[in-house]
Structure 1
Amino acid sequence: MAPQNLGTFCLLLLYLIGAVIAGRDFYKILGVPRSASIKDIKKAYRKLALQLHPDRNPDDPQAQEKFQDLGAAYEVLSDSEKRKQYDTYGEEGLKDGHQSSHGDIFSHFFGDFGFMFGGTPRQQDRNIPRGSDIIVDLEVTLEEVYAGNFVEVVRNKPVARQAPGKRKCNCRQEMRTTQLGPGRFQMTQEVVCDECPNVKLVNEERTLEVEIEPGVRDGMEYPFIGEGEPHVDGEPGDLRFRIKVVKHPIFERRGDDLYTNVTISLVESLVGFDMDITHLDGHKVHISRDKITRPGAKLWKKGEGLPNFDNNNIKGSLIITFDVDFPKEQLTEEAREGEGLLKDVYTCAREREERIVLGVPVRVWRCHVRVKVDQGGHAQVGAPELDTGLNGQHHEDARTDRTGSTDEQQQQKAAESV
């Protein structure tokens, strides 16, 4: 190898050795500054854990590695003692205080580049035993889905602690060769175990904070690395909280849209209404209508639905379906008289609609409905008053006057026009 090429190779090798000594930059992995608070670290971890989860990135071959790096970074920086040790000595200083020798570092690199020196590549054994994952359903309300929330979960977690005595560990199958005589050998397979310090499982109370992000979808999972079942010879599994949205008594979720039903009276369905709907976070959504409202009619309020999970600035729609409360008892004689007036109102409104749709340049009927409310709160519908207007002008289908007042001049004018 030429001296110039050898010098370049040595510089590259020293750079790689320095990278191993320094280890991974956990702050960079989490995307937080070195002065970040524990709350900022938790928030960054929750957000990245959802983005980098292998289930959400099936086409990324490095998804599993990125997710493991994220878990390692959070495990260290969320622990004050480990974080202090990491800030002082780097990732190598976390390995039980063990300082890797230069021989180990060279062995690590030459194990991969050994073919350049007549050796063979050597792969590290990454088959570390791992505890089982735990999946827990976490019930959240639709109000929490709309506005977001932080939920604290207290659980008893089994943790491995040192105990007196020794135990067998890292058991594996090995081939053993036995000489039976001159030129005769026998190969047998047997289980070989190491001797390790004894451990016991102790339940410890843990408080976990789960961030419910606005727009979270039913069935999504929030992972907590290393909070699953322990493994005495390896690493603990993960704990995953699976979101389960509780059914709401008023609103129904369909994607990012919200659906609800509003019941109006028979009079309101004919002459119109004006009301407010209380939303999930308490703000009022105003709705009004001065036209005939048929049972099953729908009203869309854009931007009043749930926030989109990927972009909270985008919101769905609120779709309101109207139900009409018809009388459940047989009509009285007085009500039957009013029934004829209501038919006149409907006929007048329908006549106007037909003439507008046809587009014929003739007079268009306009209906004025007088509604008088007595002291008992009962509405009395008066006879419809007819007025005319030229085709092309905008007129209301129905108008209400809850004061019960009359306009004699307008009535006379309407009669003369007819």
Structure 2
Amino acid sequence: MPRDYYEVLGVEKGADAGAIKKAYRKAAMQYHPDRNPDDPSAEAKFKEVSEAYSVLSDDEKRAIYDQYGHDGLKGRGYDPNFTDLSDIFSVFGDLFGGFGGFGGGRGGGARGPRPGPDLEYPLRLEFMEAALGVEKTLDIPKHVHCSTCSGSGLKPGATRHTCATCGGHGQVIQAQGFLRIRTTCPACRGQGESVDAADRCTSCSGSGRERHNEQITVKIPAGSYSGLQIRHPGRGEVGDPGAPNGDLYVTLDVQPHEVFKRDGADTYVTVPVPFPVMALGGEIHVPTVHGEESLQVKRGTESGHVVTLRGKGVDRLRTRGTRGDHHVRLVVDVPQKLTDDQEELLRKLAGTLEVGVREKNFWQRLFG
């Protein structure tokens, strides 16, 4: 007697479609014959879970099964050895990457014109270009429709023929062990049509495509960062005639700066300041990504102190009209060369400072 389908998949009777599909994915991974070549029972188990899923994933069949069980399905002409497994194909595609030629979606008709693939173009930017924004003109190598045949792949006056392998359906039924499944026609690749070799365009060998460099102007917004992708719809690879082109994704690679550093929309800089200004206070000018800014150094500022200039960082992409902050780290600029007079003045100053007391207080703070 056949086992209960819910028991086979390990789900409750009231399980929703998502739970049933998840359970089937797990069981299919476990019992698929290709994954268990040394286990003769795996094929039977795989058949059992596939049969259970084909019923429980179909609302009408599931309703009959819930009310009448296995006999109810047999009484309505359901054959567990052959069923439309289009949902199972999609699950297999997720699990095994389309092994065994699974694919093609629902139904038995030929698939429509294929859209063009997306393109990714890496673009290297300087730090300031990304920070302030820039406009770039790029030469994108891509495929376009053949200029001779306009993408048809045919010689003038030639026509396509109905595929003799699939009869124009774009799919064929194949037997794989205990299953009979629909797969994409290998002769026409799901198009349902074929072209005689003598009728193919000589310029593109029947592909309908040719290589071409297309110039595209890309606007890089201020505040861009490494890894950001800028999408340009329809500027990717060409699709079949009548189908849309793919999209172009420009991926940014921002180079480091010798002075500035950046974290998100905030920028950072280290500025050397003469000792007298740190000790007595005074005005200095500090660099930002937007130009110089004046900064008032407070009297007695210690080396390493950080001053934050609000709104002087780079633009925030997700919050238009706002900017990050600019963090300025002030460090004492120690002169490498001194005149005799300067050295004498410093020695006099050192003699007036309680250097020993400061050192003692430092070690006390450090070690208690």
Q: Could you tell me the TM-score, scaled by structure 2's length?
A: 0.49
Higher relative contact order (CA 8 A, sep 6+): 2
More strand by share: 1
Larger Rg: 1
Q: Could you tell me the TM-score, scaled by structure 1's length?
A: 0.44
